């Protein structure tokens, strides 16, 4: 038997579910290249963008409002993450006429939007950049729209929550932490010794490559599993790792690592073998350590089922525990 909820909560749950579907459609329109092209029937690209943005703002606000009274925690966690993303892009959104209000909703200045170079809006919602505002919001909406059983006729709700216990994500996150730490360590780059025990100028490339390959495998496995988590702590730390990787694509490419549109890694072994291992080491001292630190937090949240925040502010800022709280995990 499920707990009875109030009529207000029942409506909020229903509005949130339908609102997420509408918001998904609005984002898709703003990501479509056709929205930024004039049409033969006389509709200008500017008119189409304004119409699409009005729809986006309306649907975004409906979702935010409904989430504040909803008991669908597996959806509201993603809404909180969505609001946090919007707060992060507040400046860029403001430049195209979309203002973030104190209550977390948006307000559109149509006049300002009409005077903006449309390429600026298109870039903001670009599907080519996994770190763009539109791509990040689309990702959050995708998972927020996951299956939830709601009974609006009896006033009850059945939230299918993910406990994330004994989840493969925790295993891959822990393994990624280990790989990141290894790639940042001095031990992995110790020079090979000759038969007399004297240090040579050669690195153990085979060993370093094996660790790099493991890093890529566990990195991708963690994201494949964890992106469907309902845990805000997991999602926020995945976001930090994704952003760190996106900001280091040039350096990663130098060593043979490629990042695809989904944010997954691949490794060209030949390029890696030819790389200067001292530079690889220097790079991973920062990047590897950062990924390891956040992967340990993903593992922590997956295994404890703790959330990064018990609620969220008007801009959905998270109360993420400080690093000192993770001493036993990092």
For the stretch 99-124, what's the b/e string if a residue is b when 16 or more beta carbons lie within 10 angstroms of its beta carbon? ebeeebbbebeeeebeebebeebbbb
CB 299 within 8 A of CB 329: yes
Asked whether residue 1 is assigned to any structural domain, the reply reads: no
C-alpha–C-alpha distance, residues 112 and 110, integer Å: 5
* The predicted structure's pLDDT at residue 4: 61
Where a domain ends, among 158, 190, 225?
A: 158
Domain assignment present for residue 71? The answer is yes
Which tokens belong to 328?
A: 């036993």
The whole model's pTM is what?
Answer: 0.57
Least Cα distance to 45 among 118, 123, 126 occurs for 118
Report how far residue 257's alpha carbon sits from residue 28's, in angstroms, rounded to the nearest whole number: 30
Q: Structural domain tally of the chain? A: 2
- Mapped onto helix, strand or coil, the DSSP state of residue 257 is strand
Specify if 124 maps to a domain. Answer: yes
Which are the contacts of 290, defined by CB distance < 8 A and separation ≥ 6? 180, 241, 244
CA distance 34 to 312: 36
d(CA 96, CA 253): 33
pLDDT of residue 107: 97
Domain annotation covers residue 220: yes
Do the domain assignments include residue 301? yes
Instruction: Tell whether 104 and 247 lie within a shared domain.
Output: no
109 and 250 within one domain = no
Which of residues 131, 158, 185 is at a domain's end? 158
Domain membership flag for residue 76? yes
Domain identity same for 130 and 247: no
Residues 42 and 191 occupy one common structural domain? no
* 53 and 144 fall within a common domain: yes
Residues of the chain under the 70 pLDDT cut? 1-5, 145-170, 305-330
Residues 199 and 151 in one domain: no
Q: Are residues 138 and 179 in the same domain?
A: no
Q: Are residues 315 and 262 in the same domain?
A: yes
Percent of the chain with pLDDT over 90: 55
What pLDDT shows up at residue 5? 64
Those residues whose C-beta lies under 8 Å from the C-beta of residue 190, and which sit 6 or more positions away, are 204
- Same domain assignment for residues 214 and 72: no
Q: Which of 111, 109, 84 is nearest to 99 (CA)?
A: 109
Give the whole-angstrom CA distance, residue 320 versus residue 309. Answer: 7
Tell me, yes or no, whether 257 and 118 share the same domain. Answer: no
What's the pLDDT score for residue 3?
A: 54
Range of the domain at 94: 7-158
pLDDT of residue 273: 96
In a domain, 2, yes or no: no
Residue length of the chain: 330
Q: Are residues 90 and 29 in the same domain?
A: yes
pLDDT in tens, 180-218: 999 999 999 999 988 888 888 899 999 999 999 999 999
**What pLDDT is attached to residue 41?**
79
* Domain-embedded: residue 79: yes
pLDDT of residue 216: 97
pLDDT given for residue 146 in this prediction: 55
Whether 104 and 251 map to the same domain: the answer is no
């Amino acid at each position: 038997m499920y707990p009875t909820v109030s009529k207000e909560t029942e409506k909020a749950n229903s509005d949130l579910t339908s609102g997420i579907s509408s918001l998904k459609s609005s984002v898709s329109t703003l990501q479509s290249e056709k929205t930024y092209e004039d049409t033969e029937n006389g509709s200008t690209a500017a008119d189409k963008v304004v119409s699409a943005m009005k729809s986006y703002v309306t649907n975004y606000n409906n979702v935010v409002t409904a989430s504040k009274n909803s008991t669908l925690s597996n959806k509201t966690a993603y809404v909180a993450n969505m609001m946090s993303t919007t707060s992060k892009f507040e400046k860029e959104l403001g430049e195209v006429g979309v203002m973030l209000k104190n209550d977390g909703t948006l307000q559109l200045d149509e006049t300002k939007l009409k005077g903006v170079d449309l390429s600026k809006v298109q870039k903001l919602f670009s599907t080519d950049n996994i770190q763009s505002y539109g791509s990040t919001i689309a990702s959050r909406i995708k998972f927020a729209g996951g299956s939830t059983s709601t009974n609006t006729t009896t006033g009850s709700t059945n939230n299918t929550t993910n406990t994330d216990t004994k989840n493969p994500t925790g295993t891959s996150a822990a393994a990624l932490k280990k790989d990141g730490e290894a790639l940042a360590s001095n031990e992995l780059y110790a020079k090979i010794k000759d038969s007399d025990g004297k240090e040579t100028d050669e690195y153990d490339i085979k060993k370093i490559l094996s660790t790099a390959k493991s890093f890529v495998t566990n990195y991708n496995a963690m994201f494949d599993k964890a992106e469907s988590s309902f845990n805000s702590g997991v999602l926020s730390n995945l976001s930090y790792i994704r952003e760190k990787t996106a900001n280091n694509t040039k350096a990663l490419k130098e060593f043979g690592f490629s990042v695809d549109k989904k944010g997954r890694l691949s490794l060209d072994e030949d390029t890696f073998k030819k790389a200067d291992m001292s530079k690889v080491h220097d790079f991973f001292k920062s990047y590897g350590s950062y990924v390891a630190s956040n992967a340990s937090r993903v593992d922590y949240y997956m295994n404890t089922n703790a959330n990064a925040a018990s609620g969220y502010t008007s801009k959905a800022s998270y109360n993420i525990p400080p690093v000192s709280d993770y001493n036993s995990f990092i």
